[in-house]
Structure 1
Amino acid sequence: MAKEYKEALLEKHYHEGCPGCKVEKMKEVRRGYPYLELSFIWIVILSTSLPISSLYPFLYYMIEDFGVAKTEKDIGYYAGFIACAFMFGRALTSIFWGIMSDRYGIKPIILLGTVTIAVFNALFGMSTNIWMAIATRFMLGSFNCLLGTIKAYATEIFREEYQATAMSAVSTAWGIGLIIGPALGGFLAQPADKYPSVFSKESIFGRFRYALPCFTISAFALVVTALCCFIPETLHNHKLDNTSDDDSIEVLEAASLESIEKTGNNKKGSLLKNWPLMSSILVYCVLCLHDTAYSEIFALWANSPSKYGGLGYSTNHVGTILTVSGLGLFAFQVILYPSAERLLGAVLLTRLAGALMIPVQLSYPFIALLSGVSRSILLSFASILVNVFSVSAITGMVILQNRAVV
């Protein structure tokens, strides 16, 4: 009753010309599945996740071309610097971009992020030495302001009943991007060697052997930039009313009553003392560390020669396995995850997914002992399971974080 009364009163206080109020009005009258909003979430997350993982299949060969590694065993050492440069830049600036989105709005931050992806990812594809590769990846990570921003945008643009769907879409698109990216890198790297009838050795893609996958992703980012010009802004550009009329007092009382009914108290504690939130953040960090490490190590392991314990796969072979894995992940997240989350709950589903990842990954050394088609099939199946469990656990943590601060 208090909620209905509060909503009825708040409806009178919308401000004309305020983009945030316009979005709130739209959410009130909107009925039906939010396909358009989900589509924007998908393409933005894809644009930010593709450059993160696209280098994995060809990073081994790129470092080899730079000539900095004295032996094949040293390639993994230098690969770590290029791979971590992105995340290091992102870690330094994530909070800053969150502050900027709160101050100036989410839409300009999204547009800035997609534009910088197009620029710095293209420059990375044209790297001629390891220092240029590290610098461009660092800048790409420093301006990668999209993941946290789009999560906040998803909570603001969707009605409450679609919050779980929105968070699932974010995690699913992220996981799919981390699979499609390596597929693009695997199939499009070294095009003059793989497709000599299409790309000559004298062309730009013959001289810059890893530019084609990076240019493809940059072109996609530019398309996303153009489409995101039409997304609504959610920032409220008006100041909080300080009037003391009866309606304002009643609104505050109704809001306070609803808060007490939900939480059982009327005290707002520090976020650092919000144990459900902090614990979910800690688990989320561990899961993301695992997911990133797995994505990088798997590609290096698959590309490495058999004499060093690797599989000796080509970039095309790695790309094929990761593409199959992505299709399996997409099918699970779209068809099965919502039902599994409703049946088991986010906490139990995350626990099961995290526990089941362990035996699957322990099977990899035994799969490597096989050969031929049987090894490829089992490796693809194991890769599907690992990615399904990983993304399911991360999605569960995102849902729990969102619920902990409501």
Structure 2
Amino acid sequence: MNTSRPMDDPLDETSPLLHERDHGHQKPVQATPLPKGQFAIIMLLCLAEPITSHCIYPFINQLIRDLDITGGDEKKVGYYAGMIESIFFAMEALFVFQWSRLSDRIGRKPVLLVGVGGLCVSMLCFGLSKTFWGLVVSRSLVGLLNGNTGVSKSMIGELTDETNMAKGFACLPVAWSVGSTIGPLIGGQLARPHDRWPRTFTHPFWMRYPYFLPCAASAAFSAFTFLITALFLKETVRKRTPSTDEDGDPARSHHDAPPPLREILTRRVLLSIANYAVLAMVDVAFFSLQPLFLATPIELGGLGLEPPTIGIILGTFGVLNGLFQALFFARLMAMLGPKRLFQQGLLAFVPLYALFPVMSLYAKAHGLTSVVWSLILLQQVLLVVMDLAFGACTFACDGLVGKGDADGRLSRCAGAIFIYITSSVASNRCLGATNGVAQFIASVVRAVGPATSTSLFATSLERNWIGGYGVYPILISMTLALFSVSTPLPKHMWPKVEK
């Protein structure tokens, strides 16, 4: 373990061997242990969303073809796939802020239960849908009912203090990474079970509803999470009487009302959220385009892969990303700094998008050879490099949680934007609203991204833009334009706020 001195305290020939620490830091602060049981439940809740949202990606394009939504026109699959993927985020954007505000009043637990219950019901409905509008309503339902992302962050903020908040929020990207690995594997491996295991799945139900099994599997996880949450999760919002505050002072009861948003959203919060939104935009656009490209026939500019293979490819990213972040993020952060690492991660989307036409052209000329599979692997590696930008974007906000050793830097790297937002609010009574605004902006961006990239893909094929590859220069240009939003970020971490 590295025991070197902090970088801002250089050692020279005049430094005493045993020097005094700053007066305010004479004794190291003992970190408060995380409430493991409660955190385990929150992690289950955080797992449920990526599992259910990523579950459909390996088979959504084949599902649209099987339902004959496009009338047999393969080039139009992208339009409908993008609409189905975007509708969840659009509905979430409309209602997530209201759920977060409601959680400030009635408590976090009821809202979390509604959210995870909505995931369960929505996935069951999705697996039983036989029309395009049935799919749309199913995905809309989960977006309407689910406000768990912002509420979970609020709950973590209430379960932690300044000594362990970093470790608490560091669990969020871990849960998302695990969920984004499990979800595609479930969707890819369990789709069309009567084709893969005809001796086991013999009932006509599985032929009529070939995609119900992966939806039911993800719904079962949400149902299990609902049960555990209902039985064991403890409420973190303290109930108060209408006439008194927590100190029993009637004159101060008016403080229970959350302050106006203009007092919550400081320039630094807005700048951090803006960069997070930029990254979320190009990120969700890519991850919506990737399964569409993998499933599209080779003659139309894709690779023509089946759902099980697509699921493995999509799930591989989660495994590689988790290992790389754990082993190398802190070192790269120390070498490059947060702003430079964020910008390089954002620019990784340029070769990521450029690899799509390269793979397509080679597959058309030579088939799915080892070269194509090597390019797929290269794209997954570049995705890991890109994902460093999420950590760098959040790490830039780190000044509010203090400085520490390498372990502290690593634990803060992935969740510090949420730590920053949480730490910047005046009190817990406006915590839900603040996280709700952040999640609202992210949901709006993520609602636009899938429809944009997949519709551009379909339009490029229909109108033969640049031989059907016109979508990729457009997305690369968009990435370079959005890159300018990162220029106001400080070179190093934000200075600590004096309260």
Q: Same fold (TM over 0.5)?
A: yes
1:57 aligns to what? 58
1:299 aligns to what? 291
Which amino acid is 1:372 matched to?
Answer: T
Distance 2:106 2:223 in 1: 22
Rate the CA distance shift 1:159–1:343 in 2: closer, same or farther, 3 A.
Answer: farther
1:243-392 to structure 2, matched below 5 A, reads: 243=249, 270-271=262-263, 274-337=266-329, 346-368=338-360, 369=362, 371-387=368-384, 389-390=386-387, 392=389
Distance 2:91 2:200 in 1: 36
Distance 1:339 1:33 in 2: 26
Determine if contact 2:38/2:234 at 8 Å carries over to the other structure: no
Distance 1:164 1:225 in 2: 26
Determine if contact 2:272/2:393 at 8 Å carries over to the other structure: no
Rate the CA distance shift 1:339–1:105 in 2: closer, same or farther, 3 A.
Answer: farther
Q: CA RMSD in A?
A: 3.0
Task: Tell me the alpha carbon deviations over residues 127-171 of structure 1, each in whole angstroms, 9 at most, x when there is no partner.
Answer: 011111101111111111111111111222123233233333212
Determine if contact 1:168/1:333 at 8 Å carries over to the other structure: no
Determine if contact 1:45/1:147 at 8 Å carries over to the other structure: yes
1:219-238 to structure 2, matched below 5 A, reads: 219-229=220-230, 230-238=232-240
Rate the CA distance shift 1:388–1:237 in 2: closer, same or farther, 3 A.
Answer: farther
Task: Tell me the alpha carbon deviations over residues 39-72 of structure 1, each in whole angstroms, 9 at most, x when there is no partner.
Answer: 3333211101222121111111111122121211
Report the Cα offset of residue 212 of structure 1: 0.6
Determine if contact 2:153/2:418 at 8 Å carries over to the other structure: no
What SS does the aligned partner of 1:57 have?
coil
Which ranges in structure 2 are unaligned for 5 or more consecutive residues? 1-21, 253-259, 395-414, 426-499
Which amino acid is 2:382 matched to?
Answer: L
Moved more, 160-169 or 182-191: 160-169
Report the Cα offset of residue 193 of structure 1: 1.1
What SS does the aligned partner of 2:348 have?
helix
Equivalent residue in structure 2 for 1:399, among 399, 402, 416: 416
2:212 aligns to what? 211
Rate the CA distance shift 1:40–1:89 in 2: closer, same or farther, 3 A.
Answer: same
Aligned length: 360
Report the Cα offset of residue 176 of structure 1: 3.3
Rate the CA distance shift 1:391–1:206 in 2: closer, same or farther, 3 A.
Answer: farther
Rate the CA distance shift 1:322–1:94 in 2: closer, same or farther, 3 A.
Answer: same
1:120 aligns to what? 122
Say which structure is richer in helix.
Answer: 1
Determine if contact 1:321/1:376 at 8 Å carries over to the other structure: no
What SS does the aligned partner of 2:163 have?
helix
Report the Cα offset of residue 92 of structure 1: 0.8
Rate the CA distance shift 1:224–1:211 in 2: closer, same or farther, 3 A.
Answer: same
Task: Tell me the alpha carbon deviations over residues 82-139 of structure 1, each in whole angstroms, 9 at most, x when there is no partner.
Answer: 1111111111101110111111111111111111111111111110111111011111
Distance 2:125 2:261 in 1: 46
1:39 aligns to what? 40
Which amino acid is 2:312 matched to?
Answer: T
Which amino acid is 1:309 matched to?
Answer: G
- What's the TM-score, normalizing by structure 1? 0.79
Distance 1:381 1:167 in 2: 30
Report the Cα offset of residue 359 of structure 1: 2.9
Report the Cα offset of residue 35 of structure 1: 4.5
- What's the TM-score, normalizing by structure 2? 0.66
Distance 1:148 1:243 in 2: 30
Report the Cα offset of residue 304 of structure 1: 0.1
1:24 aligns to what? none
Determine if contact 1:42/1:169 at 8 Å carries over to the other structure: yes
1:96-175 to structure 2, matched below 5 A, reads: 96-175=98-177
Moved more, 154-163 or 101-110: 154-163
Which amino acid is 2:169 matched to?
Answer: M
Determine if contact 2:31/2:164 at 8 Å carries over to the other structure: no
Determine if contact 2:194/2:210 at 8 Å carries over to the other structure: yes
Distance 2:335 2:169 in 1: 17
Determine if contact 1:304/1:312 at 8 Å carries over to the other structure: yes
Which amino acid is 1:282 matched to?
Answer: A
Task: Tell me the alpha carbon deviations over residues 254-282 of structure 1, each in whole angstroms, 9 at most, x when there is no partner.
Answer: xxxxxxxxxxxxxx993476111111111
Distance 2:187 2:369 in 1: 23
